Amino acid sequence: MNSPIPARLAALRTAMRQHDVAAVLVPSADPHLSEYLPEHWQARAWLSGFTGSAGTLIVTHDHAGLWTDSRYFAQAEQQLAGTGIALMKLRVPHTPEHLEWLQKQLHEGEVLAVAGDSLAWATQRQIERRLAEGGASLRTDLDLPGAIWPDRPALPQAPVLEHDPIYAMVPRAEKFERLRKAMRKHHASHHLISSLDDIAWLTNLRGSDVECNPVFLAHLLVQADGRATLFVTRSKLSDAIVAALAADGIGIADYASITSSLHELGAADRLLLDGSRVVSSIAAAVAPDVTRIDAANPSTAFKAIKNAAELDHIREVMRRDGAALVRGFRRLEQRLAAGMAVTELDVDTLLYEERSAQPGYVGESFATIAGYQANGALPHYRATPESHSTLHAKGLLLIDSGGQYPGGTTDITRVLALGETTPEQRRDATLVMKGMIALSRARFPKGANGPQLDALARAPLWAAGMDYGHGTGHGVGYFLNVHEGPHGIRPPVAGGALVPLEPGMISSIEPGLYKPGRHGIRHENLAVVVEAEQTEFGEFHAFETLTLCPFDRRALEPSLLNPEERAWLDDYHAGVRAALSPLLDGADLEWLNRHCAPL
């Protein structure tokens, strides 16, 4: 079947000539700068055919390039084949970053077009500075991909629901008061919030406008005087929710009217907004005489720290989720042992069946990654009906999955040995495990940040001359996005924020190793930062592991683990067995006991 991509690129270039545009930049973004996008804003995927969550497309009259990172190199090479779009590998020597490349391509008087509803205000300013050096300019009032997209999906219209008060531990009025206290420190009269997880957290509302993320399309304008306006499609809200919001001083306005409301602000107003979380088309609606205070949304830091009651709910969710995984993994092994045909797609189905039987299960927290053998070497691999592998009773299967529950969000990766494994596979899996254990056991001083700790997980791999191309840990929401900031565990980046790891913050711990064409390894638990001890040198923190599910010891080479590492793994499995045993019986309990036995 011929690809439709060349024809779409040709239509885009025709539109570019009509508007005298030399280049078009198509980011992976929406008006809320979300990681995962409603279909309406998946223009980059529609134009390029590349479906990864991270990527930037640039089209000129004689070239098209797709910039993405190492997680997606293999996927992009496959999906871009025959499209006329070149893969531009990010963070690879001798490959320019996309803005650097653009700066060299565009000349005096030429124009770059980017849809203003998909470009961060901070990024707009960065691009304008770069282009100005060569005399080129930027237009954000042209959405050329949207203009040539004949069957563009409509905006989602899913209902908005209250987060059950049993689980929403802090009333929204209390959250707004805390937010206004932070606004007063900035001397702000108004605060604009466009990031969907911040809005959902503040309002104690949830939705399903974004696949796997319980959020809804909205903007929020908060005033220091006690009023606030939620810009959302009214038909998504019940009368009861509207009344409850009104009782807390929150009015409702149409989703599309945010720009007209911002335009009404005057010279006496001081607007707090995060330039990296607000798009340029909305920032442009603010009159020049309004004082803009460009600072991080205070709510982003607030929601990162889970309170004791929330953590109790999360621990119970981990028990239920872990029991579901045990049942799913046991059924998978049973099918393979019986000689039944099992594919990567069946893994997704098995886990969904078991998770959906758990109390309160809402849905997946992301699309399940089930990569067998070489497919496991693709960090964000996704099996499809058109392209997937059949499992056999040998080798490794990497499974990365998660669930959404009113009491928490889960994210876990396990590597299962389906049968005979090679010494190389067992060595690699053990080296990754050594890194995971090192970070899980870490003690660190108050004020330490993720980039300072990242090397602990990589050191065993570095000693063997190996590494991985993704971060080691990301924040996780409370029945919210599976990826949330502001903290993270990743290598230092020039100019990157160094956010201290504070008690109550949840992070994944997920080192990996990927050998294209052979196998991939990733072990992942979620952990919460806790207070550890007070010494003469100050306060120290540690991680409490939250995830409860056995690792497959058959995939490991125990002789490579030192006594402390073996003790950690045995202690972890003892805790898993104690937590999950009351939820299991029969063959499932037998499976748990077998996989939690000491090394």
Tell me if 399 sits within 8 A of 355, measured CB to CB.
no
Instruction: Give a yes or no: residue 355 inside a domain.
Output: yes
pLDDT at 494: 80
Judge if 342 and 280 occupy the same domain.
no
Instruction: Give a yes or no: residue 384 inside a domain.
Output: yes
Judge if 297 and 318 occupy the same domain.
no
**Diameter of the chain measured on Cα atoms:** 74
Q: Which residues contact 35 (CB under 8 A, 6 or more apart)?
A: 53, 481, 483
Last residue of a domain, one of 90, 121, 147: 147
What is the rounded CA–CA span in Å between residue 477 and residue 485? 9
Judge if 257 and 374 occupy the same domain.
no
The one-letter code for the residue type at 521 is: I
Judge if 378 and 439 occupy the same domain.
yes
Q: What is the pLDDT of residues 276-335, one digit of tens each?
A: 999 999 999 999 999 999 999 999 999 999 999 999 999 999 999 999 999 999 999 999
Instruction: Give a yes or no: residue 93 inside a domain.
Output: yes
Instruction: Give a yes or no: residue 467 inside a domain.
Output: yes
What is the rounded CA–CA span in Å between residue 508 and residue 485? 12
What is the rounded CA–CA span in Å between residue 239 and residue 245? 10
Judge if 500 and 406 occupy the same domain.
yes
Judge if 216 and 232 occupy the same domain.
yes
- The pairs formed by 369-372 with CB atoms below 8 angstroms and a separation of 24 or more are 369/398, 369/399, 369/400, 369/401, 369/413, 370/344, 370/345, 370/397, 370/398, 370/399, 370/401, 371/344, 371/397, 371/398, 371/520, 372/344, 372/396, 372/397, 372/398, 372/418
Judge if 495 and 416 occupy the same domain.
yes
pLDDT at 95: 78
CATH number at residue 207: 3.40.350.10
Judge if 508 and 433 occupy the same domain.
yes
Q: Which residues contact 219 (CB under 8 A, 6 or more apart)?
A: 192, 193, 194, 199, 230, 231, 255, 258, 282
- DSSP letter for each residue of 544-563: EE-------GGGS-GGGS-H
CA pseudo-torsion sign 34, 89, 123, 483 = positive
Residue 330 phi, psi (nearest 5): -65, -40
Bridge partner residues of 473 (DSSP): 489
Last residue of a domain, one of 279, 304, 329: 304
Domain count, the chain: 3
Instruction: Give a yes or no: residue 318 inside a domain.
Output: yes
Can you give the residue range of the structural domain that contains 273? 161-304
Judge if 347 and 424 occupy the same domain.
yes
pLDDT at 78: 86
pLDDT at 391: 96
Instruction: Give a yes or no: residue 336 inside a domain.
Output: yes
Q: What is the pLDDT of residues 462-484, one digit of tens each?
A: 999 999 999 999 999 999 999 99
Collapsing DSSP to helix, strand or coil, 212 comes out as coil
Q: Which residue has the tokens 């990743």?
A: 490
Last residue of a domain, one of 147, 176, 206: 147
Instruction: Give a yes or no: residue 155 inside a domain.
Output: no
The structure's pTM equals: 0.95
Judge if 133 and 169 occupy the same domain.
no
Tokens in use for 463?
């000693």
Bridge partner residues of 305 (DSSP): 505
CATH number at residue 477: 3.90.230.10
What is the rounded CA–CA span in Å between residue 506 and residue 576? 19
Tell me if 300 sits within 8 A of 195, measured CB to CB.
yes
Judge if 243 and 128 occupy the same domain.
no
pLDDT at 199: 98
pLDDT at 142: 96
Judge if 502 and 380 occupy the same domain.
yes
Bridge pairing between strands 291-294 and 270-273:
parallel
Instruction: Give a yes or no: residue 153 inside a domain.
Output: no
**Mean pLDDT per 10-residue segment, the chain (599 residues):** 89 98 97 94 96 93 93 86 93 84 94 97 95 95 96 95 96 98 98 98 97 97 97 98 98 98 97 96 96 97 98 98 98 95 95 96 96 92 86 97 98 97 98 98 98 98 96 98 96 87 98 96 98 96 98 97 98 98 98 97
Tell me if 405 sits within 8 A of 360, measured CB to CB.
yes
pLDDT at 518: 95
